[in-house]
Structure 1
Amino acid sequence: MLSTWTITLFLLGAASAKEICFNDLGCFSDLEPWAGTVIRPLKVLPWSPEKIGTRFLLYTNENPNNFQTLLPSDSSTIEASNFRTDRKTRFIIHGFIDKGDENWVLDMCKNMFQVEEVNCICVDWKKGSQTSYTQAANNVRVVGAQVAQMIGILSTDYNYSPSQVHLIGHSLGAHAAGEAGSRTPGLGRITGLDPVEASFEGTPEEVRLDPSDAVFVDVIHTDAAPLIPFLGFGTKQQLGHIDFFPNGGEEMPGCKKNALSQIVDLDGIWEGTRDFVACNHLRSYKYYSESILNPDGFAAYPCTSYRAFKSNKCFPCPDEGCPQMGHYADKFASKLSGEPQKFFLNTGESSKFARWRYGVSVTLSGRTITGQIKVALFGDQGNTRQYDIFRGLIMAGSTHSNEFDAELDIGTIEKVKFLWNNNVINPTFPRVGAAQITVQKGEEKTVHTFCSEETVREDVLLTLLPC
């Protein structure tokens, strides 16, 4: 495929600009905005395709465990493979210091095979990613061009529409997907999994992933704290039509463990240290992979900020509904307004990450006393644990509300259990009750009402039934 390359020199005052050209892929220069800027000060050209060694590894429902290698330079490899033109094609592009035959990439394909028939192509560019960061950040330009070339071959030789193609890129791979999309008119979708910040945040659109790179671009931010001093690898900049900020987008629950505990959890020292140092950054692909098997477990709410979301100001979903972060985000594409939107949600600390958000209001009865009230929901698909609704002065007739993220979808809500306590020995044995409890699931408009005329002593469960 590669061939000849040429280097053209231009004189710009005392500095020289370089350009490197590869047959079929075009030319790449170190002129602005690719280099010589505040964000990208170093003049670095991408490596040649041979040196990067990009491989396209095809897994399908027929070969879920062993890949078939597709060569853009030899379309007979596509002809002889299990690639099917009546299926969607999803490319997974890894990031810095990663590789395309990593477990997480194959696991993502395997999750897809459980819910759809699909061509799952892992883009392995490990030789080009396992180098200095600045070099790898420039190598993605060639990788993106190679992905676009492969899509072009599928389109030209097999009449396969780019609208059927979905690029999923993690870290640097998200920007490689952007490069591929900018070269592919009508590309269906790009998902950016924590697109990397360094050398990309604040650059012009041609350098980074942006909404013009595909018909629908969705982005998951999990490590958006500043690189200095917090070592946040991901960008906080909105890059898609919709940008998801799970848990606020900076610190993921479960990522505060010490390094040793992570190493014990995982296979080998390298895996352990990698997962510790980059835990937030890696969460993005873990959330996406789990979202494939949980079509309604990652509902995300439009909100001005995570602070507002945590303050219960963004519930329930608006009339147009809420998008699902991850695999099924494209079902929301038709409901988008013109402006890019931010969405927030919470996840679990470890697998399983999916959560279902409920809003609860409790109207109290009985004695006036200080204490706390908790509620558990029971449905036809299971029940939640007890969640705190209120702490403070418990007064008859007062109403207190809260939202929480349950570990399961309980289905149709059948009853609610109420509990109160104040952990103070009181010889009068005061009794408190819940005259009414309303419950709403975040994605639904229906408000369910439960009632009781009873009161109970501390730490005694009160069951409320539909009124």
Structure 2
Amino acid sequence: MVKFARLSFFLFSLAALVSPIFGQDYSAYLNNRIFQPCMKPVCYDDVGCFQPFKLQAYLGLPPVAACPQPPDELGVEFKVMRYNNSYEFFNLFGISPNSSVAYVIPGYRSEHTELFNMELVDGLLKHYDQIVLVRWDLGANPSLLFDIPVTRYNKFLAAANSEAVGRIIGNSIDFIVNNRSINPDNITLVGHGLGGNTIHFAADWIKEKYNLTVGKAVVLDPDAIPFYFSNKKISGKGDAKIVDVIHSTFVAPVPVLGQRFAGNTKTGALTPTGDSDYFINFPDSWNDQPGCDGLEFCSSHFSIMTFAASLHGCRFETKPCSSNIFQRFTSKEVGLDSSQTGPQGRICIKVSEKPIKRCS
């Protein structure tokens, strides 16, 4: 915390020093929400009020509590995509009435997931009429000064932002239900990391404000840090009529010990929350998924590739998730879709390196 306080002081001082030289107040470009505690609720038009995201359990890392940035600072965009001999792009007004829709919601530092999301989109377009790509780059990787993000420390503000993004997504769901005649049962929300966490906030918002529940949610490696030991929930049962959670990184809910993962890219929830929770290569993959070898984001992205493979028809060997490390995977194979199999509870699956290529 001392190092970060020094960094913040240095950047603020730098902004103050260069301001008179260039005749501008550069301190206005400092995003103090990253390190300044938010102790009171904040309210914004169209998305309501937010209680501070309590972060006291994360000792030595600022802030004590965080609130989301104003919606116009989050950079939220909706791009509707469908395939008709070639990819076509529209806004929400372009959604075909009485059709099926899947939202794709990236997570923390979402600029790193676009290639993986396109693999996901290709798979989803086999099952849905159109895809809504959600962009929230500015909120997912908040800048500290001069549009420069400081990773690790901005994770907490990004987590707070995910609640506002969830409500914005919720408003878009109400729009397509009422203006494009989309049946909520035909809407699926797919989110990775913090994008997966937005699903809970979207679900809560549309239940409370619009009395809506979507048909399905697929939560890919939802972030446990900083949701463990906070006043905010991880996405799970009840956020849709069917909730599947696919886990590829694992952080145990242990105070203080878990906080060292706050800036790591392996911050997935170990606890099951969905109707079906699929744990990939657990417990062998505690450190890395196959082929990742410490590569940043790789193990978390493995959940995206595994789900994309399932959309292409891949099935995976299973075994009960237990503490018996000698238990072998069985020849029984499953897909990753509770709408087809019914709720499966907690289940471990075996997935090889490059899952799409291996079963295509």
Between 224-233 and 139-148, report the one with greater CA deviation.
224-233
- The answer to whether 1:130 aligns with 2:141 is yes
In structure 1, the residue matched to 2:170 is 148
| Aligned residue in 2 for 1:345 | 349
- 1:380-395 matches, cutoff 5 A: none
Q: Name which of 293, 298, 303 aligns with 2:316.
A: 298
Query: SS at 2:66's partner residue?
Result: coil
Residue in structure 1 matched with residue 324 of structure 2 by the alignment = 307
| Higher percent of residues as strand | 1
- Tell me the secondary structure at the aligned position of residue 307 of structure 1: coil
* TM-score, scaled to structure 1: 0.57
Query: Is the Cα contact below 8 Å between 1:287 and 1:353 reproduced in 2?
Result: no
1:332 maps to 341
Q: Is the 8 A contact 2:306 2:356 kept in 1?
A: no
Structure 2, unaligned runs of 5 or more = 1-36, 143-153, 207-211, 253-257
C-alpha contact 2:104 2:133 (8 A) present in aligned 1: yes
- Matched residue count: 294
- Aligned equivalents of 1:164, 1:208: Cα separation in 2: 23
Q: Residue in 1 aligned with 2:68? A: 46
How many angstroms apart in 2 are the aligned matches of 1:23 and 1:229? 36
| Cα distance in 2 between the residues matched to 1:63 and 1:146 | 31
1:393-439 deviation digits (Å, cap 9, x = unpaired):
xxxxxxxxxxxxxx69xxxxxxxxxxxxxxxxxxxxxxxxxxxxxxx
Higher helix share: 2
- Let me know the Cα RMSD of the aligned residues: 2.8
Between the aligned partners of 2:225 and 2:348, the Cα distance in structure 1 is 24
- Asked whether the 8 Å contact 1:178–1:190 carries over to 2, the reply is no
Q: Which runs of 5+ in 1 are unaligned?
A: 1-14, 71-77, 258-275, 355-406, 409-467
Deviation per residue, 1:257-303 (Å, 9 max, x gap): 7xxxxxxxxxxxxxxxxxx1221111111111121112x423544x1
Q: Deviations over 1:323-347 (max 9, x none)?
A: 422xx342123xx3xxx72111111
Letter in 1 for 2:327: S
Secondary structure, aligned partner of 2:98? coil
Secondary structure of residue in 1 paired with 2:110: coil
Which residue of structure 1 lines up, in the alignment, with residue 100 of structure 2? 88
Instruction: Work out which of the two has the higher radius of gyration on C-alpha atoms and give 1 or 2.
Output: 1
- Tell me, yes or no, if structure 1 residue 195 matches structure 2 residue 219: no
Structure 2: distance between partners of 1:29 and 1:138:
10
Gap change, CA 1:228 and 1:254, over 3 Å in 2: farther
Amino acid at match of 2:68: P
Query: C-alpha displacement at 1:103, in angstroms?
Result: 2.3
CA contact (8 A) 2:317 2:331 kept: no
Cα shift readout 1:1-44 (whole Å, capped 9, x = no counterpart): xxxxxxxxxxxxxx9842222222111121xxx22542696222
Percent of counterpart pairs with the same letter?
20
* Equivalent runs, 1:334-413 vs 2, <5 Å: 336=343, 341-352=345-356
Instruction: Identify which of structures 1 and 2 has the higher relative contact order when contacts are C-alpha pairs closer than 8 Å and 6+ apart.
Output: 2
Q: Is the 8 A contact 1:101 1:124 kept in 2?
A: no
Aligned to 2:292: 255
Provide the C-alpha distance between the structure 2 equivalents of 1:220 and 1:16, rounded to a whole number of angstroms.
32
Q: Which residue of 1 aligns with 2:151?
A: none
**SS at 1:217's partner residue?**
strand
Matching residue of 1:212: 238
